[in-house]
Amino acid sequence: MPEQGARVQMPRMAALVLRGLEYFTWPLNLDDYLELISPLWSTKELRGRIERIHAETDDAVTVYITPGFRWRGHRPGQYLRIGFDIQGKRQWRAYSLSSDSPRPDGQITVTVKRTEDGVVSRWLHGPQATGSIVTLGDVEGEFVLPDPVPAKLLFLTAGSGITPVMAMVRGLERRRHLDDIVHIHSARTREGAIFAGELGRIDASHPGYSLIFRATAEQGRLVPADLDAVCPDWREREAYACGPGGMLDALGEHYTAAGLGDRLHVESFEHFVLGGIEVRGGTITFAASGIAADCDGTTPILVAGEAAGAKLPFGCRMGICHTCTGTLTAGSVRDLRTGDLTHAGTEIRTCVNCPDGPVTVAL
Amino acid sequence: MPQTEALIENPIARFSEEEIEQIGREFDAIHDEVFADLGDKDATYIRTMIALHRQLALLSRAILLGSRYKPAWLLGTSVLGIAKILENMEIGHNVLHGQWDWMQDPRINSATWDWDTASPSDAWKHSHNYVHHTFTNIRGKDKDLGYEIMRIDPHQKWHPVYLLQPLYNLILAGFFEWGVAVHDLDVEAVREGTKDMDELRRQLRGIGHKAWRQVAKDYIAFPALSGPRGFKATLAANFTANIIRNVWSYAIIFCGHFPDQTYTFSEEETENETRGGFYLRQLLGAANIDGSPIFHVLSGNLSYQVEHHLYPDMPSSRYGQIAPKVKDICERYGLPYNTGPFSKQFGSVQRTILRLAFPGGKPAAKPGPYVPPADEEIIRPLIAV
């Protein structure tokens, strides 16, 4: 079964009434009729409508979405799975919410950078997205500020890694908690930086928040060793970092070496950073169809199978939703993100695993 | 089903292995071209169809609140009948085939769909999608060939019970959904005692549940909504709508494989069948019905039975589009393209049912290679699209 949106939690009485009405609507349910009026009234699957799309920079847009019936909110820093219907086909992606909760108009936002071959990101930059209905998954993620907010904070962000932290900064501003915060943000150029304007305004109007911008095209990338110069008291600060996997790995090592591993909280959406993991690849046999596919050491089983003509279930394609799972009946696979080895007899996600030698999957 | 020797040679025999492979590649190409092109237009089509069914269903149920007035009864019953036909044919049958699974929408998906009929979708998907579509028209393997209760092919051995077939044919037409539900149980296996009893119990429970929900909806809930004075009239209207839907789907489905033009195959003929051979068997074993675009939608595009059997997982709205390409292959390879107006197809099926109730019978004369109609013979459809 394809990936599904979040179930809408209904009050008990309402759920009972809905079940009673199914005697009239069976085998459909009331939802199927409510949808005729507004797709946002779904009680089965959470939906949203893209209200407008705002260009942040040349290659990044903020998407304003009105969530459907009984949206339960989110905490700044969390991410949301969103299913976009593109060319008739539902495509799931996970994006950090860039909006603080709640906006006065009830909308939530995600901010998306265009990538060269990104089906969804290119569509969001096109004319068709505005007004369309999307399916919303569950709000997920542990990358959130604790309550109460730590007295001294350090935000370390790079590129589009700014989005979850932007939500945090917005939330802190609204709650007047911008007390002692250092925010080091790297982007290639100042002009191309997402949210440069808003961050600059907050920096100017709140003495407790200081933004250190680093244009990597001129100044080069920030390395953890620079922290002593840029933010001398970094050891005393609770740190929240979001950016490319390489940056997060380096920070992780630096903090661990300083004995401050639990001070650092990270979020990465670059699930396909291989980090030097050696995977051998091999031939995949799909038991259901008998199709055999050759797979090199960098291609997920799902992609290699589809290229060989196998019909495989898929969902998020990034190891989140477990739609693509199948049982590995022979051989071993490695997780392309972590390098973890999994042996036959377990359920594997085909979208993030790669064969390590010949394998058979019961799909 | 006891078999006798083949009474007629099928045209596959005159092709060489290479030719069959070549034909297979040509049919594959049509499939791939359509699947590479699926997109928003197709998604909009099925969503519109689904919305149309729901609107018609709501409309008919609203009209039938006044079912004790004759005009409301007639109008409401007709609209409800059409809604049920759409739900079963163009939507239910095709969604359960997985024709719309490519959209990755969990709510328009063969794994989750359920339909307003007596067959639980799991059992039906097995007996229809797998057994019937894989072994189409192979005598002894395709259990839809006469549905294990009718003699529809002269190869089937006669038995005195078939003398009653003209009678139970009529009953089947009216209660077709129940016939299909029971058929899905694999009556022959039950009779022979080879059916797994737990499985049978589970399937019977499934049918029982569906029967109860249909009774609860059409014969209790909606009649009650019409009030004490309208209860009986609404009940009668709903019953009639179910009969309309049953007779219609019976008529369309019986025209799919039983008209005179179609061939049946022995197990020996289909041994070691290749992909190309599969396409040829589907082409020869199915028959279309000519009609207007509205007719095609109401038949669930099963009036394109040939195209449907070549590509059971292709969105039904594409069948009309690929029909000229299929005809082109038929013309070039000297193959028949089975089709005809509804009256002709349905008439030949009914004649066969009557004739084969009695012993004997020969396969009907088969059409020759497809010849495109001359320009002056082309009739414009009722509504052009």
Chain segment B140-150, per-residue pLDDT in tens: 999 999 998 99
Which chain A residues have a beta carbon less than 8 Å from that of B101?
2
Q: Which residues lie across from A64 on neighbouring strands?
A: A52, A109
Instruction: Give the CA radius of gyration of chain B.
Output: 21
Residue contact B41–A89, C-beta within 8 A: no
pLDDT of residue B308: 97
- Looking at residue A349, its pLDDT comes to 86
pLDDT digits (tens, 9 = 90+) for A164-187: 999 999 999 999 999 999 999 999
Can you tell me whether residue A83 is helix, strand or coil? strand
Task: Please state the rounded mean pLDDT for residues B222-247.
Answer: 97
The predicted pLDDT at position B172 comes to 97
Enter the pTM of the model: 0.86
For residues A102 and A78, what is the distance between their CA atoms, to the nearest angstrom? 13
Evaluate whether A221 touches A188 at the Cβ level (below 8 Å).
no
Å between B218 CA and nearest CA of chain A: 8
pLDDT confidence band for A269 (50 / 70 / 90): low
pLDDT at residue B1 greater than cutoff 90: no
Residues of A whose CB is below 8 A from B275: none
Per-residue pLDDT for B69 more than 50? yes
Minimal CA–CA distance to A30: which of A10, A48, A50? A10
pLDDT at A66 over 70: yes
Q: What number is the average pLDDT over the span B315-331?
A: 97
Residues A194-250: pLDDT tens digits? 999 999 999 999 999 999 999 999 998 899 999 999 999 999 999 999 998 889 989
Q: Which residues contact A79 (CB under 8 A, 6 or more apart)?
A: A94, A95, A96, A97, A139, A140, A141, A143, A164, A267, A269
pLDDT at B385: 47
Cβ contact A24–B102 (<8 Å): no
- Residue A58, burial from CB neighbour count under 10 angstroms (0-12, 13-18, 19+): exposed
Of the candidates A268, A255, A266, the one whose C-alpha atom is nearest the C-alpha of residue A227 is A255
ipTM field: 0.89
**Would you call A132 an interface residue with chain B, using a CB distance cutoff of 8 Å?**
no
Cα–Cα–Cα angle for A79, A83, A84, rounded to 5 degrees = 120
Nearest Cα of chain B lies from the Cα of A279 at a distance, in angstroms, of 30
Which among A138, A82, A77 has a CA at the least distance from the CA of A316?
A82
Chain B residues 105-134 with a CB less than 8 Å from chain A:
105-107, 109, 111-112, 114-116
Q: Answer for the pair B223, B231: CB distance below 8 angstroms, yes or no.
A: yes
Q: What is the arithmetic mean of pLDDT over B114-126?
A: 93
Residue B4 confidence (pLDDT): 54
Chain A interface mutation, best of B42, B64, B105, highest count of A Cβ atoms under 10 Å: B105
- Residue B329 confidence (pLDDT): 97
Distance CA A267, CA A288 (A): 37
Residue A342 has pLDDT above 90, yes or no: no
Chain B hits for A88, CB-CB cut-off 8 Å, are 38-44, 102-103
Contact (CB<8Å) A24/B221: yes
Cβ within 8 Å, pair B103-A87: no
Higher pLDDT: B116 or A321? It is: B116
Task: Give the one of A23, A27, A88 whose C-beta lies nearest to B38's C-beta.
Answer: A88
Q: Measure B45 CA to nearest chain A CA, in Å.
A: 10
In this structure, the strands spanning A60-67 and A108-113 are antiparallel
Confidence of residue A323 (pLDDT cuts 50, 70, 90): confident
Q: Which residue of B has its CA nearest to A324?
A: B104
Q: Which distant-in-sequence residues (6+ apart) come within 8 Å of A19 by Cβ?
A: none
pLDDT number for residue A94: 87
> Which chain B positions have a beta carbon within 8 Å of A90's beta carbon?
103-105
**Would you state the structure tokens that stand for residue B276, as one six-digit string?**
């190309």
Looking at the predicted structure, is the pLDDT value of residue B10 above 90?
no
For residue A117, pLDDT beyond 90 = no
Beta-carbon separation of A4 and B116 below 8 A:
no
Q: Do B51 and A87 touch (CB under 8 A)?
A: no
Average pLDDT over residues A51-74: 93
Question: Given this model, what pLDDT does residue B295 score?
Answer: 96
Q: Do A23 and B221 touch (CB under 8 A)?
A: yes
Q: How far B40 CA lies from chain A's nearest CA (Å)?
A: 4
CA distance B156 to chain A (A): 34
Given CB atoms, is B209 within the 8 Å cutoff of chain A? no
Q: Closest by alpha carbon to A299, among A356, A238, A227, A362?
A: A356
* A21-60 residues touching B, CB cutoff 8 A: 23-28, 32-33, 35-36, 44-45
Token digits for B348? 């030949």
pLDDT at residue A102 greater than cutoff 80: no
Contact A88 B54 (CB under 8 A): no
Q: Express each pLDDT in B240-267 by its tens digit.
A: 999 999 999 999 999 999 999 999 999 9
pLDDT number for residue A335: 85
**pLDDT for res A69:** 78
State pLDDT tens for residues B75-85. Answer: 999 999 999 99
Q: Spell out which residues of chain A touch residue B42, defining contact as CB-CB under 8 Å.
A: 88
Lowest mean pLDDT among A58-62, A225-229, A329-333: A329-333
CB contact under 8 A, B104 and A90: yes
Contact assessment for residue B92 and residue B124, using Cβ atoms and an 8 Å cutoff: no
**Reported confidence tier of residue B139, pLDDT bands at 50, 70, 90:** very high
Mean pLDDT, rounded, of chain B? 93
- Give percent of chain B above pLDDT 90: 83
Q: Chain B residue with minimal CA distance to A25?
A: B217
Q: B62 in contact with A at a CB cutoff of 8 Å?
A: no
β-bridge mates for residue A347, sequence order: A327
Q: How confident is the model at residue B382 (pLDDT cuts 50, 70, 90)?
A: low
The pLDDT tens digits of the residues spanning B154-188 come to 999 999 999 999 999 999 999 999 999 999 998 88
Strands A282-286 and A264-267: unpaired
Contact (CB, 8 A) for A116 and A49: no
B318-344: average pLDDT:
97
Q: Which residues of B touch A26 (CB under 8 A)?
A: 116, 213-214, 216-217
- B254: distance to nearest CA of chain A, Å? 26
Secondary structure letter of residue B216 according to DSSP: I
C-alpha angle B295-B296-B300 in degrees, rounded to nearest 5: 115
pLDDT at position B50 is 98
Asked if pLDDT for residue A151 goes beyond 90, the answer is yes
User: How much is the mean pLDDT over chain A?
Assistant: 89
A129 touches chain B (CB under 8 A): no
* Res A325: pLDDT: 81
Least confident interval from A97-111, A192-206, B233-247: A97-111
